[in-house]
Amino acid sequence: MKEPVDHIIRPSLPWRRDIGITECGYDATKVKAITRQSFFERERSLGKQRCAMLTCMTCSDTTKRYGTWEDDPRAAIGREVTWERGEYWGRGRSDRGTLLKEELLAIEALIEAHREEFDATIQENRQRREWIEKKAALKQKPPPKPDRLPSL
Protein backbone atom coordinates (compact mmCIF):
# COMPACT_ATOMS: atom_id res chain seq x y z
CA MET A 1 0.00 0.00 0.00
CA LYS A 2 1.28 3.44 -0.92
CA GLU A 3 1.95 5.72 2.02
CA PRO A 4 0.06 9.00 1.79
CA VAL A 5 2.44 11.81 0.88
CA ASP A 6 3.20 14.84 3.02
CA HIS A 7 1.86 18.20 2.00
CA ILE A 8 3.67 21.51 2.55
CA ILE A 9 2.31 24.26 4.77
CA ARG A 10 1.88 27.45 2.79
CA PRO A 11 3.84 30.41 4.19
CA SER A 12 1.45 32.72 5.96
CA LEU A 13 1.28 36.45 6.55
CA PRO A 14 3.22 37.30 9.74
CA TRP A 15 0.18 38.45 11.74
CA ARG A 16 -1.79 35.26 11.13
CA ARG A 17 -1.82 32.73 13.96
CA ASP A 18 -3.63 29.79 12.34
CA ILE A 19 -1.56 27.18 10.55
CA GLY A 20 -3.64 27.88 7.44
CA ILE A 21 -3.63 25.80 4.29
CA THR A 22 -1.20 23.64 2.37
CA GLU A 23 0.38 24.78 -0.88
CA CYS A 24 -2.17 22.64 -2.75
CA GLY A 25 -5.12 24.09 -0.86
CA TYR A 26 -5.99 21.61 1.93
CA ASP A 27 -6.65 22.65 5.51
CA ALA A 28 -3.16 22.03 6.96
CA THR A 29 -4.63 20.79 10.27
CA LYS A 30 -6.45 17.95 8.49
CA VAL A 31 -3.58 16.41 6.47
CA LYS A 32 0.01 15.41 7.17
CA ALA A 33 1.95 18.58 6.41
CA ILE A 34 5.56 19.71 6.77
CA THR A 35 7.02 23.20 6.73
CA ARG A 36 8.56 24.76 3.66
CA GLN A 37 11.98 24.65 5.34
CA SER A 38 11.61 20.93 6.12
CA PHE A 39 10.71 20.30 2.50
CA PHE A 40 13.83 22.04 1.17
CA GLU A 41 15.99 20.16 3.73
CA ARG A 42 14.33 16.90 2.72
CA GLU A 43 15.02 17.56 -0.95
CA ARG A 44 18.66 18.37 -0.19
CA SER A 45 19.24 15.29 1.95
CA LEU A 46 17.18 12.69 0.02
CA GLY A 47 17.54 14.05 -3.49
CA LYS A 48 14.75 15.16 -5.81
CA GLN A 49 13.46 11.69 -6.77
CA ARG A 50 13.09 10.21 -3.28
CA CYS A 51 11.71 13.50 -2.00
CA ALA A 52 9.10 13.45 -4.81
CA MET A 53 7.89 10.01 -3.64
CA LEU A 54 7.22 11.36 -0.15
CA THR A 55 5.81 14.80 -0.93
CA CYS A 56 2.70 16.04 -2.71
CA MET A 57 3.70 17.08 -6.24
CA THR A 58 1.41 20.13 -6.37
CA CYS A 59 2.79 21.34 -3.01
CA SER A 60 6.39 20.80 -4.18
CA ASP A 61 5.90 22.69 -7.43
CA THR A 62 3.94 25.51 -5.81
CA THR A 63 6.33 26.10 -2.92
CA LYS A 64 9.20 26.53 -5.38
CA ARG A 65 7.26 29.14 -7.35
CA TYR A 66 6.51 31.44 -4.41
CA GLY A 67 8.58 33.23 -1.81
CA THR A 68 7.72 34.20 1.74
CA TRP A 69 6.91 37.49 3.49
CA GLU A 70 10.59 37.64 4.52
CA ASP A 71 11.65 37.33 0.85
CA ASP A 72 9.35 40.16 -0.27
CA PRO A 73 6.22 41.34 1.57
CA ARG A 74 4.79 42.76 -1.67
CA ALA A 75 4.87 39.36 -3.37
CA ALA A 76 3.36 37.67 -0.30
CA ILE A 77 0.44 40.13 -0.24
CA GLY A 78 0.03 39.74 -4.00
CA ARG A 79 -0.26 36.00 -3.63
CA GLU A 80 -2.89 36.34 -0.91
CA VAL A 81 -4.90 38.81 -2.99
CA THR A 82 -4.86 36.47 -5.97
CA TRP A 83 -5.81 33.51 -3.78
CA GLU A 84 -8.68 35.13 -1.90
CA ARG A 85 -10.17 36.73 -5.00
CA GLY A 86 -9.69 33.46 -6.89
CA GLU A 87 -8.20 35.22 -9.88
CA TYR A 88 -6.89 32.33 -11.90
CA TRP A 89 -7.15 31.89 -15.63
CA GLY A 90 -9.14 35.07 -15.94
CA ARG A 91 -11.96 33.84 -13.70
CA GLY A 92 -12.94 35.05 -10.27
CA ARG A 93 -14.43 33.00 -7.46
CA SER A 94 -15.95 33.97 -4.17
CA ASP A 95 -15.71 30.81 -2.06
CA ARG A 96 -12.45 31.70 -0.31
CA GLY A 97 -13.84 34.00 2.32
CA THR A 98 -12.88 37.55 3.16
CA LEU A 99 -10.06 37.15 5.71
CA LEU A 100 -7.51 39.26 3.83
CA LYS A 101 -10.07 41.98 3.14
CA GLU A 102 -10.97 42.10 6.87
CA GLU A 103 -7.27 42.19 7.79
CA LEU A 104 -6.56 45.06 5.40
CA LEU A 105 -9.49 47.07 6.79
CA ALA A 106 -8.20 46.41 10.34
CA ILE A 107 -4.70 47.51 9.28
CA GLU A 108 -6.18 50.72 7.87
CA ALA A 109 -8.01 51.39 11.17
CA LEU A 110 -4.87 50.65 13.22
CA ILE A 111 -2.78 53.00 11.09
CA GLU A 112 -5.32 55.77 11.51
CA ALA A 113 -5.30 55.23 15.28
CA HIS A 114 -1.47 55.26 15.39
CA ARG A 115 -0.58 57.56 12.49
CA GLU A 116 2.57 59.10 14.04
CA GLU A 117 4.00 55.73 15.05
CA PHE A 118 3.33 54.40 11.54
CA ASP A 119 5.07 57.34 9.84
CA ALA A 120 8.01 57.17 12.28
CA THR A 121 8.46 53.43 11.64
CA ILE A 122 8.56 53.99 7.87
CA GLN A 123 11.13 56.74 8.36
CA GLU A 124 13.30 54.56 10.66
CA ASN A 125 13.19 51.61 8.24
CA ARG A 126 14.12 53.88 5.34
CA GLN A 127 17.09 55.34 7.26
CA ARG A 128 18.27 51.87 8.29
CA ARG A 129 18.11 50.67 4.68
CA GLU A 130 20.02 53.74 3.41
CA TRP A 131 22.67 53.24 6.10
CA ILE A 132 23.10 49.57 5.11
CA GLU A 133 23.36 50.54 1.43
CA LYS A 134 26.00 53.19 2.20
CA LYS A 135 27.99 50.71 4.27
CA ALA A 136 27.86 48.13 1.44
CA ALA A 137 28.94 50.76 -1.12
CA LEU A 138 31.93 51.74 1.04
CA LYS A 139 33.02 48.10 1.30
CA GLN A 140 33.01 47.72 -2.50
CA LYS A 141 35.17 50.80 -3.08
CA PRO A 142 38.82 49.90 -3.63
CA PRO A 143 41.28 51.44 -1.17
CA PRO A 144 42.70 54.78 -2.39
CA LYS A 145 45.89 54.50 -4.43
CA PRO A 146 48.94 56.16 -2.94
CA ASP A 147 50.10 59.23 -4.92
CA ARG A 148 53.66 57.99 -5.04
CA LEU A 149 55.27 54.66 -4.50
CA PRO A 150 57.42 54.65 -1.40
CA SER A 151 61.08 55.14 -2.28
CA LEU A 152 63.45 52.29 -1.57
Q: Which residues bind Zn ion (CB under 5 A)?
A: 7, 22, 24, 56, 59
Q: Which long-range contacts (CB under 8 A, 24 or more apart) does 8-12 make?
A: 8/33, 8/34, 8/35, 8/36, 8/39, 8/55, 8/56, 8/59, 8/60, 8/62, 8/63, 9/33, 9/34, 9/35, 9/36, 10/62, 10/63, 11/36, 11/66, 11/67, 11/68, 11/69, 11/76, 12/69
24 versus 76: smaller Cβ distance to Zn ion = 24
Helix, strand, coil percentages in the chain from 3-state DSSP, rounded to 5? 55, 10, 40
CB of 87 to Zn ion, least distance (A): 21
CB of 39 to Zn ion, least distance (A): 11
22 versus 68: smaller Cβ distance to Zn ion = 22
51 versus 56: smaller Cβ distance to Zn ion = 56
CB of 33 to Zn ion, least distance (A): 8
34 versus 56: smaller Cβ distance to Zn ion = 56
CB of 9 to Zn ion, least distance (A): 10
